[in-house]
Amino acid sequence: MDKHYLSPLFAPESIVVFAGSVDDVASQTPLAQALQAALKAQPYAGRISFLDIHTSGTLADLAQARADLAIIALPVADVGPALELAARMACSAALVICSGVSADKAAEFKKIARQAGIYLLGPNGLGFQNPKLQLNASALGHMASTGPLALVSQSGSLTAAMLDWAGNNAVGFSNVVSLGPHTAVDIADVLDYLANDGRTQSILVYVEGISNARRFMSALRSAANAKPVVILKAGRKPAGNEAAQTHSASIVGSDDVFDAALRRAGAVRVRSFVELFSAAKCLASRYRPVGRRMAIVTNGGGPGVLAADWANEIALSLGKLSAETAAQLKAQLPALASLTDLIDLSEDAGPEHYRAAVDAANRDPQVDGMLAIYSPKVGGDAAAVAQALSDVKKHISKPLLSCWMGDASVGEARGILNDAAIPSFRTPEAAVGAFGNLATFYQNQQLLQQTPPPLSTLAKPDIEGARLVIESVLAERRKVLTEMESKTLLSSFHIPVTQTILARNPTEAMMVAMQLGFPVALKIDSPDISHKSDVQGVALNIMTGASAREAYVDMVERVKRLQPDARINGVTVQKMASARRGRELYIGLVTDDPFGPVIVFGAGGTMIELIDDRAMELPPLNQYLARRLIERARVAETLGDWRGASAVDMDALEQVLLRVSEMVCELPQLREMDINPIIVDENGAVAVDARIVIDSAPQAASGLSSHYNHLAILPYPARYEQVYPMRGGGEYTVRPVHPNDAEMLQELVAKLSPESRYFRFVSHMTELPPAMLARFTLIDYDREMALVAVFKQRTAGDDGEITETERIIGVSRYITNPDRASCEFSLLVADGFAGKGLGSRLMESIMQVAREKGLTEIEGLVLTHNGGMLKLMRSLGFEVKPFAEDPDFRLVTHAL
């Protein structure tokens, strides 16, 4: 079961090809001719046979010709019969290379493949390449060179162009996959395969559209946790939704949301396919910068300034040497060298000067990475300088990039840099952009590690009360909440709001204003008016009761004149916020197709569209994510001490964002929301106005039983946390794993006996490799689950002080099988805790989670001589039977 389910597709040992009559080339489609030429151009490492679907033969003949993969390049009418033949030949996978197939016809092919248990890649794609196996199962042209990069593309023509470019730039691939519309094996499946492929170091993705955001995010997060993923997306859609009923929806474009999703998945986005490869080249070097401060080492002021300008353009900072480091370095440089902003070594710089400068920048804590730029000079030795960088690279810990400008005179130098695995670029802008991708990758990886629960640790909200408000509005066949209803919803999640009272006539407005105290604000209350200011439905700084009465009358008359069809409930009266130097911000919600709800933050007020300040994040949030969201907005610069105003209460602002995240998680009916403005000062935050749009909760996707199926990222499932008594005394906690458990999990494995380690991993390894440890601790709770048993130990120090430490003493996990109806489990218990009922508890708990997910069967492999595990399985009701593929194992299964 260790072999990936798509191995028969992308790494087959045997292939059968249906591409028309072998003897009649003219009867073959152009794609079939290209495919056959590609297959025969190099010696495929496995067994391959070519069949005609019209050739007569018995079922026995077909069974004898069984293959892992069937490749079908036939007219559309013949694809279905070919798939049925592939099923009779017990093929595990099929590739259909056929263009112009409609969605309905593709659905027919999927149905045939699904019923036969065949993994189907296609139609409408151009196939795939596996250079290691010398397998060119595509119509993409020549075979790519072997290398560490994997390429997945939703455009056949662009894939061919990328391969052509890569061939002329010495870029090699582990896999190349072309995906077309309506394919059964989709981009999520391919990402999952590549994440587990040992020959793939980095993954390049060209994407045009996503059909299932949850599956895409699940696979992308898993892949990006294992290796760098760089994405190029076409079809940038600008903001501007004319039908939007909130400011948030009108200023947020779908491309903004895609950026937010990629950040949260730990991937990097680029803007051109040349940048796609340069980013992958840097990321594959395994550099891990810790920030965005880049020191520029140059022998020419012009190229250095160009690099600095582009660094400023993409929000990088210049890494400036500390005074101490600069003083030490200055003594080693030519007299004309300057260290003010750039490390400008002057035109007299030689290899020893570059070596000293890069070494100094590497040791300086104010620098996160270095870019060395060399411009050819009369009498200079470009190759010698490159060799100096090659030598110094062996001893540095920070990223080092290079830019050797020119062409013919620096060819040898570029070869030296490439041999030393120093990423080399031809222009300063390209090099700076590559460093920006490195820094973005690190930052996004930090976001990837965050696994917040749906509810924060703040006071529990009144979720039931909020749902009753929503149900009452939907019962009236309304979707837009009034200001009063919107603020009630906010209050139920403990978001501070200004006291607001609805007045239904001028006299009520006067009395309410006098009771609240002046100054007050009056706002029109209508379910048909999205933006009150547009119809002059707001009056501020009302100072007397008489003024409130007059404002009511004037406002209602104006609104009726400007929007005669609007239903008017009355006018709300609220006391104006007293914060004189408070910042006007907005927090919003939009619902994207396909990524679902997205939280938006930026500068607020009446000119929100004009200011166009927006940062966004996918829910759920925790404090770290909330702080990063605030930092990405331009308005963040004004939240500290600013122009005489005190710094705002950041904790209060973060808490409002956490509360909005709770609302989004617990109320799937929310579609759009504006809290605008929310006024924040040093004393706290208060929502002055709010508008919320709702609709019926979205239907759960097939196979999803989660309450949170409307979210693209499943929250940490804190509800599975339980405390149990330990047989023999004490207690332990069973809870879902999270990334912070990596150290404790490694300690559990290290302390196992050799026999226990072999029983679990069928290996004599003494610790988990970093990639495996990351995969075990950062999981997607939608398609897999891992429960850890945590035991708290109390120990007394020499001074008698009691300290409490935690250790993981057991793990149970399951991973959903490709059929999405069954799952495979594993179990591990610390040696010192055997016989205490821990294994039974962990298995029962993980089986219960699988049941709740709608899975129907759980299965696993147990070594034949692992008597203790087999005994436990039988006691839990598992059926134990031989495993046909390996007699050293037993297959254990249990219906859920």
pLDDT digits 0-9 by tens, 789-832: 999 877 766 676 777 889 999 999 999 988 889 999 999 999 98
**CB 545, CB 569: distance < 8 Å:** no
Query: Cα(570)–Cα(263) distance, rounded to whole angstroms?
Result: 44
**In a 3-state reduction of DSSP, which class is residue 432?**
helix
DSSP letter string over 82-117? Answer: HHHHHHHTT-SEEEE--SS--HHHHHHHHHHHHHHT
Query: Cα(115)–Cα(92) distance, rounded to whole angstroms?
Result: 12
Query: Cα(613)–Cα(605) distance, rounded to whole angstroms?
Result: 11
Instruction: Mark out the alpha helices in 500-600 (DSSP H runs).
Output: 506-516, 545-562
Length in residues, the chain: 896
CA distances from 40 to 32, 45, 126, 136, 156 (A): 12, 12, 17, 9, 21
**In a 3-state reduction of DSSP, which class is residue 636?**
helix
CA distances from 660 to 322, 592, 602, 807 (A): 42, 17, 14, 34
Q: At what angle do helices 254-265 and 213-226 cross, to 10 degrees?
A: 40
Query: Cα(278)–Cα(313) distance, rounded to whole angstroms?
Result: 19
**In a 3-state reduction of DSSP, which class is residue 523?**
strand
Which residues does 709 contact at the CB level (< 8 Å), separation at least 6?
214, 668, 698, 700, 701
Query: How far does Cα 441 stand from its chain's mean position?
Result: 11
Q: State how beta strands 570-575 and 520-525 pair.
A: antiparallel
Within 220-300, strands assigned E span 229-233, 268-270, 293-298
Tokens encoding 691: 């508008």
Q: Which of 116, 184, 446 is nearest to 292 (CA)?
A: 446
Instruction: Give the helix/strand (H/E) hosting 608.
Output: helix 608-611
Give the torsion sign (CA, 359, 360, 363, 365): negative
Tokens encoding 297: 């080492």
**CB 62, CB 88: distance < 8 Å:** yes
| Span between the terminal Cα atoms of the chain, in Å | 20
Tokens encoding 439: 């820094």
Query: Cα(766)–Cα(757) distance, rounded to whole angstroms?
Result: 8
DSSP letter string over 318-384? Answer: E-PPPHHHHHHHHTTS-TT-B-SSSEE--TT--HHHHHHHHHHHHH-TT-SEEEEEE---TT--HHH
Query: Cα(707)–Cα(53) distance, rounded to whole angstroms?
Result: 48
Query: Cα(396)–Cα(356) distance, rounded to whole angstroms?
Result: 12
Neighbours of 757 (CB within 10 A): 20
Neighbours of 409 (CB within 10 A): 14
What long-range pairs does 866-871 form, CB within 8 A, spacing at least 24? 866/759, 868/834, 869/759, 869/827
Q: What is the pLDDT of residue 586?
A: 92
- Backbone dihedral angles phi then psi of residue 371, each to the nearest 5 degrees: -120, 120
> pLDDT averaged over consecutive 10-residue blocks of the chain (896 residues)?
85 92 72 90 89 65 76 92 90 93 93 94 94 94 92 91 83 93 92 92 90 89 90 70 50 77 93 81 66 93 94 92 94 92 93 96 94 92 95 91 90 90 90 91 90 90 96 93 92 94 95 94 89 89 95 96 93 82 91 93 83 91 96 93 90 96 96 93 92 84 63 92 89 94 93 90 85 86 93 74 86 91 95 91 96 94 94 96 91 96
Neighbours of 726 (CB within 10 A): 16
66-84 CB burial, b ≥16 within 10 A, e <16: ebbbbbbbbebebbbebbe
Q: What is the pLDDT of residue 289?
A: 56
Q: Which residues pair with 298 in a beta bridge?
A: 344, 373
Instruction: Give the helix/strand (H/E) hosting 412.
Output: helix 411-419
Cis-peptide into 123, omega within 30 deg: yes
**CB 780, CB 222: distance < 8 Å:** yes
Query: Cα(786)–Cα(814) distance, rounded to whole angstroms?
Result: 7
For tokens 């019923």, name the residue. 115
Neighbours of 92 (CB within 10 A): 20
Q: State how beta strands 670-681 and 684-687 pair.
A: antiparallel
Neighbours of 808 (CB within 10 A): 21
**In a 3-state reduction of DSSP, which class is residue 477?**
coil
Query: Cα(113)–Cα(87) distance, rounded to whole angstroms?
Result: 8
Q: State how beta strands 173-178 and 127-130 pair.
A: antiparallel
pLDDT in tens, 364-407: 999 999 999 999 988 889 999 999 999 999 889 899 999 999 88
Q: Which of 294, 272, 228, 338 is nearest to 432 (CA)?
A: 294
- Reported pTM: 0.86
Query: Cα(660)–Cα(362) distance, rounded to whole angstroms?
Result: 42
Using a 10 angstrom Cβ sphere, with 0-12 exposed, 13-18 middle and 19 or more buried, the burial of residue 412 is middle
